[in-house]
Structure formats: C-alpha cells, structure tokens
Structure 1
C-alpha cells in the first residue's frame, strides 16, 4: 500500500468537510460517508490483493494504521446512520432516554469485549514488539478464543486484529457522538436561556451569519479547515444566541440570487474600509 496514512486521513477529512457543507442533515451525511468509505475500502482491498506488499514492514503498517482508520470511520458512520434513523422526535425524555440507552450499550460492549483484553492493553501501551504477530496475514491464533465472526473474514485482507483496532477507533468516535447528544451544553437552544450571555447576540440577518460561516469555512479560517459547516454553525449559534435551522438551503439560495451573491461580506468590507478612513482622519 503505497499511499501514506496522512494522505488517506486527509482524503477522508476532505470528504467529511464537503458533505458537511452539502448534506441537508446528519442522516444524509452519515449515509453518504458510509457509501464513500465502503467504496474506498473496496478499492484499497483490490489494490492489496492485486499487488500485495513490498515487505513485512509495509504489511504491518497497513493493517495497524491504514485499514483500521478507514474501517473504523466506516463502522462509526454506519452506526450513526442506524442510530439517527431510529431516533424518536427531538427533545424530551424519550429522546434523552434513547441516547442514554445507546451509550449504555456502547459502554457494556467496551467492558465485555475490549478493555479487559490483552490486545487492548498492548494497543493502548503503544508497544510494537508483537506487531508482526498481530498485523500479519495468516497469523490468526484460534487458541485465543476469538469471536466467531473470525471464520467469515477474508484472510487475504484481514489479520483479525486490524478489525479490533477499527472497533476501538469507531467506539471512541461513537462515544463522543453520543455524549454530545446527551450534553445540554452542546445544544444552542438551551444556551439561549443562559443569563450570563444575554448581552451577546447577533443583530444582523440569519442569512448574513450563514454567509459569514460559509466564508470562514471556504477560507479554512477555523482549525485549519478541519471543521465542517455543521460544527462551525453550532459554535456561532451558541456564541450569538441564534438558531439556524435551514443553513444548507439558505446557502444554495444565495448562490442563485440576483446581484451580488456575497451581500454581507461586501458590506463588511465597505464598513471596515470606512472605519479605517475615519480612524485616519481622526
């Protein structure tokens, strides 16, 4: 596998940013990321089966780092899609209980199948002395009492333990997703009631704020471009005490509106230059 890990991760992050900007909701984003990652994994598999590995070090690197990062994200987005499509109506006790049960199930799986295993301790410690055993094809040890699905894996494209790493990666992502769902601090509508922030609010139009959000996203101005539209909009909704519920469609209407498509940014530029002139003349 010639493509380095950082390139694979960069490609996945680029697709995540693209879909975060395009997808009308998180369900659609999760579905499209699942399809994208499944296709990416399929293409990588074809390359591996066709060309093999140049040496043992390349084989270990692939099954230890590259494949688990693709498969881990695939497991995560597929799980999120299933959770979101079965979710009760937003807000209320039923909504909170649903996500609490999902989190409880994840924690139970972690206790039963991950945290007490020798491999998990090996992985977490950063050791490398048994890498050849864990991340080489054909080294499956059935005396370890493996899960029964091991009999169905493709032995030309799995060492079994690469799946274990992918599950660890996926479970951490799912945990963060579920805790965010359950944490009211992440909900703009709740923060709108916070008395400490009542003097900070947005006084322009919602379209103006959406225009600014997309401009910052397009310029990679926040977190080196690693934040998607949805995350950026959440930050602004919390900061400025405003609810933005139609960001995607509003942006597409901006792209087709008559005259300037960047009305607010044009006004910002004009206002700043005018302010600078006043400062110079003052």
Structure 2
C-alpha cells in the first residue's frame, strides 16, 4: 500500500502509532510493530480457513453417518402399508433409533423396504387407533416369532436343526 514505507521500514519507529505491549521487547533491526499486526491478520485468516475445513469435514462425516447407503439387494415389504406404519410407530414409540424424527424414520424405512408410504402418518395412526384391535400386525408378528422359536425348540429336542 502507499503506507508500507511508514509501517514496514525497520528502525523508523513512530511512537505515536498504536504499539503492541511487547513492542519494546522486539529487535528493531529485525521487525516492526506492523509486522506483528500483519502476521496476526494472516494467521487468523489461515486459522479461519482451517476451522471452516474442519467444520465441513465434521458435517460431511455426520451426513455420511446419518444416511447409510442401502445394500444392493433390497427386500420389498410384502404386507400392507398400514402394517409397515404399525412397525414404524412401534420402533419410534420404543425409542429404538433415539430421537430421530418420526417422518425421517418413516422415510428411511419406506426407502429401505421399497415401499412408498403416504407421509401423512398421523392420519394412518388415527385410523389405527379406532380399530377394534389397533395392532393386528404386531400381534401376528409376535405369534409368528413365538411359533418359530417353539418349532426350533421342538426340532432341537428331536435332533434336527433349523
């Protein structure tokens, strides 16, 4: 700049300029008060670039952890969409995935199981609540699992394995 000769010539101290508190500890044959100020500005710029890079790295890592790639072979949900909604509400109610919002959980599960769910989950939930048995799919799923376990026990007792 046009003031470089004033700020950066060694040995020409203008004591009326703002001085750093350690100015008198510097070697005037080696540096000037403005050298430190410029170095501080450049260091802060470099630190800012570094920190922004680290933040971007952390954010992209978080995104990669949140959105796991689905496997090449994707099973397709064979039961009704309402049945899948029962399962989603079960997983959400039990807190199986922590504090993931219900809509995000539903979106991920519908994508994972190749099913297009109506994202108006609360409407489906209201319909489920007014049924005589609000959770028929969950009841049948539990029965099927218990039956499988009993069959396994029976087969193991008879020397067969599943």
TM-score (norm. length: structure 2): 0.51
**What is the alpha-carbon root mean square deviation over aligned residues?**
3.3
Please give the residue correspondences for 1:1-282 in structure 2 after superposition, counting only pairs within 5 Å: 121=48, 124=51, 196-197=72-73, 200-222=75-97, 225-245=98-118, 246-258=120-132, 260-282=133-155
Which consecutive aligned stretches of 4+ in structure 1 deviate over 2 angstroms post-superposition?
none
Distance 2:95 2:149 in 1: 26
Instruction: Structure 2 unaligned segments of length 5 or more: list them.
Output: 1-43, 64-68, 156-162
Instruction: Structure 1 unaligned segments of length 5 or more: list them.
Output: 1-116, 126-167, 177-185
Q: Deviations over 1:166-206 (max 9, x none)?
A: xx9xxx8xxx8xxxxxxxxx9xxxx9xxxx44x61000110
Distance 2:109 2:146 in 1: 25
From the CA coordinates, give the structure whose radius of gyration is larger: 2
Distance 1:244 1:251 in 2: 13
TM-score (norm. length: structure 1): 0.30
Q: Deviations over 1:192-250 (max 9, x none)?
A: xxxx44x610001100100000110111111xx22111111111111110000132211
User: Which structure ranks higher in relative contact order (CA pairs < 8 Å, sequence separation ≥ 6)?
Assistant: 1
Distance 2:138 2:75 in 1: 21
Distance 2:102 2:137 in 1: 18
Would you tell me which structure has more helix in proportion to its own residues?
1
For these two proteins, the number of residue pairs brought into alignment is 98
Distance 1:228 1:208 in 2: 19
